[in-house]
A and B are shown apart, each in its own frame.
Chain A
Amino acid sequence: MKNLLPKFALVAFFAITSNAAINAQDVIGYITKSATNAGWMMINQGAEDAAAEEGVKLVSVGPAFQGDLSSQLEVFENLVAQGAKAIGIAPVDSAGVAPAVTDAMSSGIPIIAIDTGVSGAEVTSFVATDNYAVAKVQGAVAATLVNDGDTVIYVTGNQAQSTGQERRNGFMEAFSAARPGSKILEVPTEWNSQQAQEGVEAVLNSNSDVKMVVNAWDGGTMGAKAALENLGYGAGDVKLVGFDGASDAIAAMDEGWVHADTAQMLYQMGYQGIKAAAAAARGETVSSRIDTGFFLVTPSTSGVYKQMVGIN
């Protein structure tokens, strides 16, 4: 695995040097968490559009695989060394990137954290959904779908990341407050839909009274749906609740599988993140916390949501 890292560093290096030679556009670095996840592709699209609008050169780099901190740090340092005017970063590890971020900030490069915050270091701006607040909405809405005393499954995200922790805590608090008699069985994952599928299958098998599966992200929702299909359940037999508003989960909602989904404004996250980075690079002040909001998608609002984000 380690042998992949220099390659990514090199890509970043050439991308910057070659483009800087051609024109004098400001270079904005953008370090994404994934180039292959459906949700992240929407964020990345927003980032590209914002860069085009602002007339800056966007150098985007993704990690070798999801969750690879060392390659992300290496790319980050290369971007700093090559004179990026500002950097937007979606940290794979909130605390792990903190020292590098502190270094860059102190040498005058504005850092915009996108989607996931940096813990232990100041950033110029943090552009993201307020995961905790949205997860509380998810928990409250999920509570209305079941009776008190019903057993539910919660598929967690990575509990070593603030995003995963906040979503779990928000859900647990709001749901337990509304349905104190319900048992919540957890299926731990590291944002991997295969883990979600296998875990949900195992838990459903030994607890046939489960009424609902709530997921920390929509990859989990799709994994949970596959688990239900594998066990011969039909749409609606066990309710699904998602988080993210990814297009495949919305399609599953139209088929009757998913009953609620708290959608992040994914495109907005990338778009506003790079807008803020460009503004900071020009020396303008930007708000230190930009909340990109959310949208509660239910079968009755899914039409509006699809129109808004352009799913056909």
Chain B
Amino acid sequence: MPEKFTDTIIRALVRFFKAEWSGAFVAILILALAIEFSTSGRPFFHPTNLMTILNNSAAIGIVAGGMTLVIITSGIDLSVGSVMGMTAALTGYVCSFWGFPPWMAILTGLSLGLLVGAFQGTLVAYFGMPAFIATLAGLSIWRGTGHLSTGAQATPKLPINFDLFGRFNPFANLRNEYKEGNLEGYWETFGSFIDSNWLNFFRTFQMSMLIFILFFLTLSIIITNTRYGRYIYAIGSNAVGARQSGINTSLYTMMTYMLCSLSAAFGALLFLGRAPYAKSDYGQMWELDAIAAVVIGGTSLFGGRGSLWGTFMGVILLKLINNGLTLAQLDTFWQMVVTGVIILLAVGIDLVRQSKNPKNVRRLLVSVSSFMAFLTLMTPASLFLKAQISILEHNSSKSIQEAGEKLANGQTARLLGPKEIDYFQQIISSNTWISVLCLSLFIISLIPLYTPNKLLTVIIATFFIFIILPLIKIGYSVTSPFLIFGAIILIISLFIDIIFERARKLDNSV
């Protein structure tokens, strides 16, 4: 019997949300759509943009990959940023100043990473030192060692071989050959194809990205198919039980810290492949970014649960925030706020996903639509508030002045001329009633959080749509996408219970 179309969709949804990386993925999609709407010029979903994000995620991504393993064992490694900085600096140093051939410098860096990991792993696994403390000490020690051994100086220039880990483009040679007319037959057709699509596609097809993806493929195969992979999950969820069932937990814990530091050292190589020179202050705060990426990707900080692909998505989300908000030319301080909100969103989706409770899903959707109402509200309200605050500040500075006190620099700047006061008052009067209207929409949009009444939800969704008219009339048509999106989300929230019920039935029938 052919399955109904809706059932197929529900099955796909269930499978999607069972994956640990779905929270981060949804956040990536929402953010990317928002950036797409707010940037002009070349579309954001352009292959070269996506590949640039992958290229720039590569180094921190590999560091975060190693961190994932440690966190799965319910440990933590705060030293990765310092290890990355030290190995990057020393690899470059022995290459530039000691005349090591590149391969030997690379081996030096990687074995340095292994040694650091063995040292920290021994402290944690065999001496029972808390991972937080052992690696916090490492954070300081390896950063200091890096500065000391290289004098905190940048290396002059790295040999071209390091490009193989970063900016090397496998198609660049072919394109050059084609341009010089050295190609024949099929190769020539291929060369001209590359050349004509250079700016649109091939320019950003670089080793960073390839190594990044290959690394995660390899590591996830290891994790899912080997005894090592099963053991670290066992250690993370119940260390005592794992030991009693005969797993050499100390050995596998130490191995995990070695893998993590090795990844940090390997991440350093990828970073060197794109950076201007090698220096010991690279990788500051990377431990925080790596941990953030792992947690956003749905891996539990308490260990035993998590996936590498979640971390992959987490890293991309973090980089997407940076690159996307820059492309959207958002104000610096707003970027900081938005970054935090997006991280909350990703982790919120993950929490709701784990609860497997239709009530929570519905509430999440309602909160998203309320947030849309809030954004709409802020469009007129920010102008209103700014004008109101300016006038208040003017009045308060004025009253200080009248009381005979001397004004500080900042306070004098708050005084307004009569023209400015007129201007602000005009803004206030023209935005008052629309702000009140939007505020009432926002407050009403919060109601479904407390009651699942369906009729009420439909009425509120209609209100979302109807408020578009006065907003467009007054010149705030930018808010229309928010409102339409909010209304759609509200309507979807009506069907959550049905979807869950059907999904449970499907699950039972299998």
Contacts and interface: CB of A to CB of B under 8 A. Distances in A.
Interface of A: 3-4, 7, 35-38, 41, 65-66, 120, 156, 159-160, 185-188, 193-195, 197-199, 201-203, 205-208, 222-223, 225-226, 229-232, 248
B46 A4 contact: no
Nearest to B60: A194
Contacts of B282: 194
B335 A188 contact: yes
User: Nearest 5 CB-CB pairs, A to B?
Assistant: A36-B152, A202-B323, A188-B332, A226-B276, A222-B276
Contacts of B327: 202-203, 206
A230 B274 contact: yes
Interface string B138-152: 001000000100001
Given A206-B327, A226-B274, A201 B46 contact: no
B136 interface: yes
Contacts of A156: 332
A194 to B, nearest CB: 7
B192 interface: no
Interface stretch (B166-174, B256-264, B346-354): B166-174
24 contacts: A3-B136, A37-B281, A38-B153, A41-B152, A188-B332, A188-B335, A197-B56, A198-B56, A198-B323, A199-B323, A201-B55, A202-B49, A202-B322, A202-B326, A207-B41, A208-B42, A229-B167, A229-B276, A230-B55, A230-B166, A230-B206, A231-B203, A232-B172, A232-B203
Contact of B140 (A4, A186, A222, A230): A4
Given A36-B152, A206-B49, A194 B140 contact: no
A198 B280 CA distance: 19
A156 B153 CA distance: 24
A203 B48 CA distance: 11
Contacts of B285: 65
B249 interface: no
A40 B203 CA distance: 36
A248 B277 contact: yes
A201 B172 CA distance: 18
B136 A188 contact: no
A262 B10 CA distance: 62
A230 B333 contact: no
B490 to A, nearest CB: 33
A205 B43 CA distance: 11
A202 B147 contact: no
Interface of B: 39, 41-42, 44, 46, 48-49, 52-53, 55-56, 136, 140, 147, 152-154, 166-167, 169, 172, 199, 203-204, 206, 274-277, 279-282, 284-285, 319, 322-324, 326-327, 329, 332-333, 335, 408, 410
Given A186-B329, A205-B48, A248 B276 contact: yes
Contact of B56 (A7, A65, A66, A201): A201
Contacts of B319: 198
Contacts of A37: 281
Nearest to A198: B56
Contacts of A65: 284-285
Nearest to A190: B332
Given A199-B322, A226-B274, 7 more contacts: A7-B140, A156-B332, A199-B323, A203-B327, A206-B49, A207-B42, A232-B172
Contacts of B48: 205
A36 B326 contact: no
Nearest to B199: A208
A201 B52 contact: yes
B49 A205 contact: yes
Nearest to B280: A36
A131 to B, nearest CB: 18
- Tell me the interface secondary structure of chain A in the complex: helix
A223 B279 CA distance: 13
B43 to A, nearest CB: 8
Nearest to B274: A230
A245 B377 CA distance: 47
Nearest to A151: B41
B20 to A, nearest CB: 27
Contacts of A188: 326, 332, 335
A6 to B, nearest CB: 12
Nearest to A34: B281
A194 B274 CA distance: 10
Contacts of A208: 42, 199
B386 to A, nearest CB: 19
A226 B136 CA distance: 31
Contacts of B172: 232
Given A36-B281, A65-B284, A205 B274 contact: no
Nearest to A204: B52
Contacts of A66: 281, 284
Nearest to B53: A202
A218 to B, nearest CB: 11
A7 B277 CA distance: 30
Contacts of A248: 154, 276-277
Contact of A222 (B46, B277, B280, B284): B277
Given A206-B41, A206-B49, A38 B154 contact: yes
A171 B357 CA distance: 55
Contacts of A7: 140
A165 B304 CA distance: 47
Nearest to B325: A188
B412 to A, nearest CB: 14
Contacts of B153: 38
Which of A4, A207, A230 gathers most chain B CB within 10 Å?
A230
A7 B144 CA distance: 13
Contacts of B280: 36
Contact of B322 (A3, A159, A195, A205): A195
B140 to A, nearest CB: 6
A186 B328 CA distance: 10
Nearest to B152: A36
B100 to A, nearest CB: 22
A102 to B, nearest CB: 13
A201 B326 CA distance: 11
Contacts of B52: 201-202, 205
B29 to A, nearest CB: 19
A38 B155 CA distance: 11
A193 B276 contact: yes
B203 to A, nearest CB: 6
Contacts of A203: 326-327
A66 B279 CA distance: 15
A67 B408 CA distance: 27
A36 B48 CA distance: 35
A211 to B, nearest CB: 15
A248 to B, nearest CB: 7
Contacts of B408: 120
A274 B198 CA distance: 54
A211 B285 CA distance: 33
A218 B127 CA distance: 46
Contact of A230 (B46, B136, B167, B323): B167
Nearest to A192: B284
Nearest to A209: B41
Contacts of A193: 276
